[in-house]
Amino acid sequence: MLLTDLTQEARFIALNKKAIASTESLELLTFKADLWRSLFSWSLFVGMMTSLTYGWYKGAITLGDFSFIGTVCFYVRRSIWMMSIQLVEFFKEICSVHEALSLISNAQIVQKDVSNNTSSSIEKSLVHSVTFENVFFSYDQQVDLFQNLNLTIPVGQKLGIFGPSGAGKTSLAHLLLGLYTPHQGHIKFDGKLFDEFSFEEKKNLFSYAPQHGSLLHRSIFENIAFGRHDASREQVLEAANNLLM
């Protein structure tokens, strides 16, 4: 995907500037939060050391008490600091899980009823032709990321899409997977609208390898078979061999 058109290039530059501004705002907010957290933590630490020093000077505590309390408070302070960092990551994961469950739940609710005749006529093929017809899509309803996109990928064709960050490569894949919905236009598989497939049929349309992969805490065999529990051992081994090719 090459940005040869000046209008597309201007939009790309505008999106980059907007992304830079959002990143700077987020980094500034994080810096302020870390600053206040550091000031509060060091205030408690200085107050504790002052109190212990005064108590030892007055003979209220021994040097051993001073060392013990100081060491315990230091490790408690450090543990709370690390817990606050992990808490942010925990809530990020909670949001990711919530989004994934909502996607699955909504897909099951809004999927259209497909008659038995239609289901039986669906080709049990591993490959399908893909067609984008007059697709319009944007994130903020103002600047179109895709404007009147028309793309046809024949059966069996391997297609590589490349371009700079922000050009829309990932968004195109998310539209194809049904994670996003076009504002206008249609996405078809073998001439059939994506929304006409049942939820189970949609799952069988794709094999998706994310940019940053992760494994479940199970064997490699179970990880490969996770998306298809009824797969035989031979099918799993074949899939593993295909990954190595």
Q: What is the pLDDT of residues 136-158, one digit of tens each?
A: 888 766 667 888 888 888 887 88
Distance CA 148, CA 98 (A): 32
Distances (CA, A) of 2 to 106, 138, 168, 219: 35, 19, 11, 41
Confidence at 3, pLDDT banded by 50, 70, 90: very low
More confident residue, 220 or 7: 220
Q: What is the mean pLDDT of the chain?
A: 77
Confidence at 5, pLDDT banded by 50, 70, 90: low
Confidence at 113, pLDDT banded by 50, 70, 90: very low
Average pLDDT over residues 50-65: 84
Residue type, 88: V
Residue 10 has a pLDDT of: 75
3-state secondary structure of 176: helix
Record the pTM: 0.46
Residue 57 has a pLDDT of: 83
Distance CA 166, CA 13 (A): 9
Distance CA 1, CA 23 (A): 25
Task: Write the pLDDT tens digit of every residue in 98-109.
Answer: 767 776 665 555
Residue 80 has a pLDDT of: 78
Confidence at 223, pLDDT banded by 50, 70, 90: confident
